[in-house]
A = this chain, B = another copy of it.
Amino acid sequence: MNEIPHWLEKQSDLQPTNVAIEYGEHQSISYSELREESRKLAKGLIKKGVKQGDHVAILSGNRVEFPICVHALSYIGAVVVCLNTRLSPEELAFQLTDADATSFIVDTEFVEEGHKAIELTTLNEDTLVTMDHLPKADGSISLNDQLSLDDVFTMMYTSGTTGKPKAVMHTYGNHWFSAVASALNLGLSARDKWLACLPLFHVGGFSLLMKNVIYGMPIRMLARFDAEVINNEIRHHGVTIVSVVTVMLQRLLKDLQENSYPRSFRCMLLGGGPVPKPLLHKANERNIPVFQTYGMTETSSQIVTLSPSDALRKIGSAGKALAPATLKVLVGGRIAEPYETGEIHVRGPMVSSGYYKKGHREAEYLATGDAGYLDEEGFLYVVDRVNDMIISGGENIYPAEVESVLLGIEGVEEAGVTGMPDDEWGEVPTAFIVKKEEADISLEKLNEYCRGHLAPYKIPKQLFVISQLPRNASNKIVRRKLFKSVEGEHGYEH
């Protein structure tokens, strides 16, 4: 029961001439062309020595060769190691080595970083293949026509806001169940076209490559986020679903101005962490169907999503666990009461069974490291990272909640909050603000606003106005580095 036909073979059989991927200005590739290109590359790589079970790293932006490489490796039965293009050569070298990569496919744009990274490893230079010179071959070389759901397909390093990154292993089954779980929640229409502007090397973007071949749904691939381009695609080119993170939604709304989306646009899937409520209300006022979602690399993208029918009633919630998944919130080993914040635990067939070289998870549930609570109807509200929690005078403070309030202050562009050691309270919250040009931000102003929205112990006791927040390769705030970014400086104290 654990084998299915190779998904690209299947789609190429079911709908050979239909567009699979739109990319670039006006380019597209059909399912049969995608199959042909992927198979040629698979044969070329086999001739170069790549074989079943090999770990092949890909360092690439969003270009059509990315899915071609991914599918080629599935035809060989090799494991795809997805690398983040924002990593330094040292970081790349660490992941290449840790992942036991034996080949390295590099987008031309990142070829310099690729070579630098190779130098820091024991890999030979000739294991590096550039995307403009992918080896292609014909002939009767046998390729996989079935996929085993139990086989490992991809490895992706967790963004790791603490410690060394670890490689999450995903099986074909993890990706398959993830795609199907989303369809059971959002429905599936022959008119769907999903826009991919998230990086494909992250699980959120990668999951669209999977839906592309598991549903047989076309995707529109963009090299990078561009609010104007995306709004144009939604308004005039038939895009029905877009996956975004908070900052993207903000920019889309700003660019949209007084215009609106067509009724055929059915879902803005919003992931990537806690979302400020004012933004959700704004989207709601503009009749934009935003569905908040929660997931991580370990869950092969979304695992909790607000369903269309609950979207308006439960603004701010990430929803419920998708049909094949289960969710619970634990506090000190017991099930949390409604509204009691604890650590989110998830299980389901889309959840990775473990990290490379770290052994399989023994527990049925994955402890996510994220803090959240359920309301009385069981809807999840994600609060923050458990490890980022500030304890002040015995009270728990989640930075994301405070940041969300700070973002409501006029003139605040970005906000980060972390704890500062304090003799009296143990820790006190401290705010780090990137302000808009011309804006005038002071601790007094900040306090005045916060008093109307936060309990006194949650209000930041110190303020640093800085030019940019420390972020990791996944663009997430690294709160433990906030103080480092202002070393030697003095903040505005309370």
30 example contacts (A-B, Cβ-Cβ < 8 A) are as follows A1-B173, A1-B349, A1-B353, A3-B347, A3-B349, A4-B323, A4-B324, A4-B325, A4-B348, A5-B321, A5-B323, A5-B324, A5-B325, A5-B326, A5-B348, A10-B323, A13-B320, A13-B378, A14-B323, A15-B309, A180-B184, A183-B183, A183-B188, A184-B214, A184-B215, A187-B187, A188-B188, A189-B189, A190-B308, A216-B323
User: What count of chain A residues pass the 8 Å CB interface test?
Assistant: 41
* Minimum CB distance partner of A364 in chain B: B3
* Minimum CB distance partner of A351 in chain B: B1
Q: A4-B349, A14-B323, A214-B323 are in contact. Are A187 and B184 (CB under 8 A)?
A: no
Q: Given the complex, which residues of B lie within 8 Å of A301, measured CB to CB?
A: none
Q: Given the complex, which residues of B lie within 8 Å of A187, measured CB to CB?
A: 187-190
Picked from B14, B184, B320, B349, the residue with its CB within 8 Å of the CB of A307 is: B14
* Minimum CB distance partner of A10 in chain B: B323
Picked from B1, B4, B216, the residue with its CB within 8 Å of the CB of A174 is: B1
- Asked if A389 is an interface residue, CB under 8 A from chain B, the answer is no
Interface-central residue, A14, A149, A320, A321, by most chain B CB under 10 Å: A14
* Minimum CB distance partner of A173 in chain B: B1
A113-165 interface (Cβ within 8 A of B): 146, 149-150
- Asked if A206 is an interface residue, CB under 8 A from chain B, the answer is no
Asked if residues B1 and A323 are in contact (CB atoms below 8 Å), the reply is no
- Asked if A66 is an interface residue, CB under 8 A from chain B, the answer is no
- Asked if A381 is an interface residue, CB under 8 A from chain B, the answer is no
* Minimum CB distance partner of A145 in chain B: B326
Interface set of A (CB-CB < 8 Å, partner B): 1-5, 7, 10, 13-15, 146, 149-150, 171, 173-174, 177, 180, 183-184, 187-190, 214-216, 307-309, 320-321, 323-326, 347-349, 353, 378
Number of copies: 2
Q: Given the complex, which residues of B lie within 8 Å of A190, measured CB to CB?
A: 187, 308-309
20 more A-B residue pairs beyond the given contacts A4-B323, A4-B349, A14-B323, with a C-beta to C-beta distance below 8 A: A1-B173, A1-B353, A3-B349, A5-B323, A5-B325, A5-B326, A7-B323, A10-B323, A13-B320, A13-B378, A14-B307, A180-B184, A183-B188, A184-B188, A184-B215, A187-B187, A187-B188, A188-B188, A189-B189, A216-B323
Bound-state Cα–Cα, A177 to B176, Å:
11
Interface-central residue, A4, A15, A309, by most chain B CB under 10 Å: A4
Bound-state Cα–Cα, A25 to B422, Å:
70
* Minimum CB distance partner of A184 in chain B: B215
Q: Given the complex, which residues of B lie within 8 Å of A324, measured CB to CB?
A: 4-5
Kindly list the 9 A-B residue pairs having the minimum CB-CB distance in the complex, ordered from nearest.
A1-B349, A4-B324, A188-B188, A187-B188, A5-B326, A1-B173, A180-B180, A187-B189, A10-B323
* Minimum CB distance partner of A146 in chain B: B326
Shortest distance between the CB of A183 and any CB in chain B (Å): 6
Bound-state Cα–Cα, A226 to B171, Å:
47
Q: Given the complex, which residues of B lie within 8 Å of A320, measured CB to CB?
A: 13-14
Picked from B1, B13, B189, B326, the residue with its CB within 8 Å of the CB of A150 is: B1
Bound-state Cα–Cα, A268 to B325, Å:
32
Bound-state Cα–Cα, A180 to B173, Å:
14
* Minimum CB distance partner of A323 in chain B: B10
Q: Given the complex, which residues of B lie within 8 Å of A189, measured CB to CB?
A: 187, 189
* Minimum CB distance partner of A7 in chain B: B323
Shortest distance between the CB of A84 and any CB in chain B (Å): 26
* Minimum CB distance partner of A353 in chain B: B1
Bound-state Cα–Cα, A321 to B4, Å:
11
Shortest distance between the CB of A37 and any CB in chain B (Å): 21
Bound-state Cα–Cα, A308 to B14, Å:
11
Q: Given the complex, which residues of B lie within 8 Å of A1, measured CB to CB?
A: 149-150, 171, 173-174, 177, 349, 353
